[in-house]
Structure 1
Amino acid sequence: MPQGKPPFRADHVGSLLRPPELRDARVARAENRLDAAALREVEDRCIRDAIAKQQEIGLRAVTDGEYRRAFWHFDFLAGLGGVEMYESDQGIQFQGGQTKAYGLKVTGPLRYDAPVMVDDFRFVAENAGGSVAKMTIPSPSVLHFRGGRRAVDTHTYPDMDGFFADLGNAYSGAVEAFAAAGCRYLQLDETNIAYLCDPHQLEQLEARGEKVEGLLQTYATLINTAIAKRPADMTISMHLCRGNFRSMHIAAGGYDPVAEVLFNGINSDAYFMEYDDERSGSFAPLRFLPKGKTVVLGLVTSKTGELESKDLLKRRLEEAAKFCPIEQLALSPQCGFASTEEGNLLTVEQQWAKLSLCIEVAREVWGEV
């Protein structure tokens, strides 16, 4: 991992707890008590404050906290041509509750025909100062995994090969647009490859008629198509997650079934990997990590406010280093702090303490952040 190039020894996934002012403004906008321009002003102010705080504690990569989004995924995907967001009968089921009831459906040819969140990135870059502006978007597999064949118009796509081809090309357009805007640190939030490690999730896919065999390779090809035209100096990271909503999760299972394809079949530069509890399995899959790639170990949980001990984190880093060189490792929380605008069940002070802890441990282990 070259010094000065992301990911950094202490890094973060991206989303942050929303401040009360922003929460109130979004409610007011939803109730038509605030216009879009006024909401944007509140968002801008809160994002500037969040960037300043990230810089103050020592993070080298900064994000907008996903403050302009209600969901980590819906907001971006609904901006693609051919995709519609709708109110569904039920939300996504987590272990202990459901999200708001929304879904996505493909109603026409998939395409990237208008900038999606490019201006959001530009705002971060313009306010990042000497920090690296990081952009996060959902992985293209997200458009398939939750709805599958049933959510794709059969007249537009009588077979799914065309769907995946167009989706990859649409994402390629998005990646090129971010690159043209100056983005050099782009993250794909990839929950679904981690879900493929959970037998229960596979059973659910099969129950609705999806073809599970070969799906991992389909997703790998899809992601490679999406990032194929990125500039040589753009870092692509992937965030592997088993669900994060109000401190609840969806899936469980170690990375063993997917590790070889994940590390060697997908042309990503780095991987943010959830490793904050036993649901993630052992570090053994790291043995497949090739030279030149980095794994950012998510050893610090974003789901609770209790602060991990430095000794525990250092011991776990030592355990991971038995399977790959510690020079190819970094440290972060296992996920963002607010995958949806509701946020996880901890305080803002606890959030910043967790991120500060990552920075302190990184300095002590690697001698750099």
Structure 2
Amino acid sequence: MLNFKYDIVGSFLRPEVIKQARANYFNGEIDLKALREVEDQAIADLVEKQVAHGLKFVTDGEFRRRWWHLDWLKEFDGFTTKHFDKVRNGVTHQIELGYIEGKISYDKSKSHPEIEAWDYLHNQAKKYDGVEAKKAISGPNMILVDHFLQLGTKNTSYYGNDIDQVIEDIGTAYQAAIQDLYDHGCRYLQIDDTSWTYMIDEQFNEKVTALDYKKEEILEWFRRASTKALEHKPEGMTIANHFCKGNFKGNPLFSGFYDSVAEIISTIPYDGFFVEYDDERSGSFDPWAVLKETDATFVAGLISTKNPELESREDIKRRYMEAKAVVGDNIALSPQCGFASVEEGNSIDEEIQWKKIDLLVSCKDFL
């Protein structure tokens, strides 16, 4: 089991060379091999920079992804996506949402881009002593969120309205995917799952009610799917959960406090919980006192990745100690989210991104 006191969530701002190469690829100007070569070099540079800035756990910055969640979910058979435009904050954005089109499963015999991405990151991390690679994937509940809640589709072409079998198959598919990552040397996995923060948002719960669901019913779906996914967790593998309140180009998607979800989340056998606490929208740390009864680490996301203002070390220490008084000694520090949940990135620049990383590392003396 890994022991950590500070860590990052995962994604980094895409360098211009990546953005240009992806644009060239989608315009048909370069092939996939050429795109991968650009990504490989950028990821190698990123890993080197993470180590130079004092990080002990490194990621590939999600440099190969368009979306934080869908690129991973496309690894599952029976799941696909659709594209459409959506106006948010007066701006029209290109949106992609997923839906269930067949039996959800994971075929380990297939070639998986996300496994290939992990292999490359893992090999890069091996170049540095005392450094561990971390893989971040989106969680099982995001399949349920997209199909049943975001798109509002009540049935599926394969399962009909048998939600119990949907949950069973999603959990089983995740078990196979987790084992595949383990077989490829992954010992630290982060499962990103904002489904929980959908359900603390009053406006989103109005949508849930309009779909003729109850909040408690949906939370039970999430608990079952997440618990099933971890049912055969490989020995020696650390699996943490991360959920923030949405991070679309630096804008939050949800608001609300964690009081109604903390207790049910704490029953899921994760080794750690990365939780957003970068501003007053998160409320108090009190709901997470339930973690004292578990072995899980509470990872306080006190450093904002969407606000360009640099936090003070004194304020971070004060709030960290407030959290520690509630959750106990199993506590660590992190940013509240990644720096680029989608390839466009948050509304900050690379200079402040690395200043935030330096701030994180500088806090290690009081963690």
TM over 0.5: yes
Kindly indicate whether residue 69 of structure 2 is the aligned counterpart of residue 73 of structure 1. yes
Aligned residue identity for 2:174: Y
Unaligned 5+ segments in structure 2 are: none
- Determine if contact 1:242/1:250 at 8 Å carries over to the other structure: yes
Question: Aligned pair in 2 of structure 1 residues 140, 291: CA closer, same or farther (>3 Å)?
Answer: closer
Aligned to 1:143: 143
Aligned 8 A contact 2:139 2:193 in 1: yes
DSSP 3-state at the match of 1:296: strand
Are 1:321 and 2:324 matched, yes or no?
Answer: yes
Give the superposition deviation at 1:356: 1.1
User: Counterpart of 2:24 in 1: which secondary structure?
Assistant: helix
Larger mean CA deviation between 111-120 and 267-276 belongs to 111-120
Say whether 1:219 aligns with 2:225. no
Aligned to 2:13: 17
Q: Deviations over 1:86-125 (max 9, x none)?
A: 223x34x756656422221211111102354111111111
1:288–1:324 CA distance, 2 compared to 1 (3 A): same
**1:332-347 equivalences in 2 (<5 Å):** 332-347=334-349
TM-align CA RMSD: 1.6
- How far off its partner does 1:257 sit? 0.5
Taking structure 2 as the reference length, what is the TM-score of the superposition? 0.93
Q: How many residues align?
A: 357
Tell me the distance in 1 between the aligned counterparts of 2:313 and 2:146.
37
Runs of 5+ consecutive residues of structure 1 not aligned to the other structure:
none
Partner residue, 1:126: 123
Q: Name which of structure 1's ranges 53-62 and 111-120 shifts more when overlaid on structure 2.
A: 111-120
- With over 3 angstroms needed to count, the CA separation of the structure-2 counterparts of 1:94 and 1:226, relative to structure 1, is farther
Alpha-carbon distance between aligned partners in 1 of 2:27 and 2:136, rounded to the nearest angstrom: 28
Deviation, structure 1 residue 261: 1.3
Instruction: Answer yes or no: is the 8 Å Cα contact 1:82–1:107 preserved in 2.
Output: yes
CA–CA distance in 2 between the matches of 1:115 and 1:220? 30
Distance 1:151 1:179, change over 3 A: farther
Residue matched to 2:284: 282
User: Are 1:188 and 2:182 matched, yes or no?
Assistant: no
Q: Secondary structure at the match of 2:11?
A: coil
Is 1:178 aligned with 2:194?
Answer: no
- Rate the CA distance shift 1:316–1:38 in 2: closer, same or farther, 3 A: same
8 Å contact from structure 1 (residues 95, 249) kept in 2: no
1:152 is displaced (CA, Å) by 5.0
Q: Determine the C-alpha separation between the residues in 2 that align with 1:209 and 1:112.
A: 31
**Displacement of 1:154 after TM fit?**
3.7
1:251 to 235, 254, 267: 254
- Quickly say closer, same or farther: Cα 1:53–1:192, change in 2 above 3 A: same
Render the CA deviation track for 1:314-368: whole Å, top value 9, x for unaligned: 110121122122x211111100000000000111111011011111012x203xx
CA distance in 1, matches of 2:145, 2:91: 20
Is the partner of 2:289 in helix, strand or coil?
helix
Q: Which residue of 2 aligns with 1:43?
A: 39
Q: Deviations over 1:182-215 (max 9, x none)?
A: 1011111010112211222111122133343322
Deviation string for 1:55-86 (max 9, x for gaps)? 00111100000000000011111221011122
Letter in 1 for 2:249: R
Trace 1:76-155 onto structure 2 (pairs within 5 A).
Answer: 76-88=72-84, 90-91=85-86, 97=91, 99-113=93-107, 114-116=110-112, 117-129=114-126, 130=129, 131-148=131-148, 150=153, 152-155=155-158
Q: Counterpart of 1:193 in 2: which secondary structure?
A: helix
Instruction: Give TM-score, length-normalised by structure 1.
Output: 0.93
Q: CA deviation at 1:151?
A: 7.0
Distance 2:301 2:201 in 1: 19
- Amino acid of the residue matched to residue 132 of structure 2? V
Q: Give, in angstroms, the shift of residue 155 of structure 1.
A: 4.1
Aligned residue identity for 2:309: E
Q: Tell me: CA distance 1:359–1:29, structure 2 relative to 1, closer, same or farther (3 Å).
A: same
**Equivalent-residue separation in structure 2 for 1:9 and 1:120 (angstroms):** 26
Where do 4+ consecutive residues of structure 1 move more than 4 Å?
93-99
Letter in 1 for 2:143: L
Identity across matched positions, percent: 37
- The C-alpha deviation readout for 1:297-324, integer Å capped at 9, x for no partner, is 1100000221100000011012112212
Alignment of 1:255-274 (within 5 A): 255-263=258-266, 265-274=267-276
Once the two structures are TM-superposed, the CA of residue 239 in structure 1 deviates from its matched residue by: 0.5
Who is 2:366 aligned against?
365
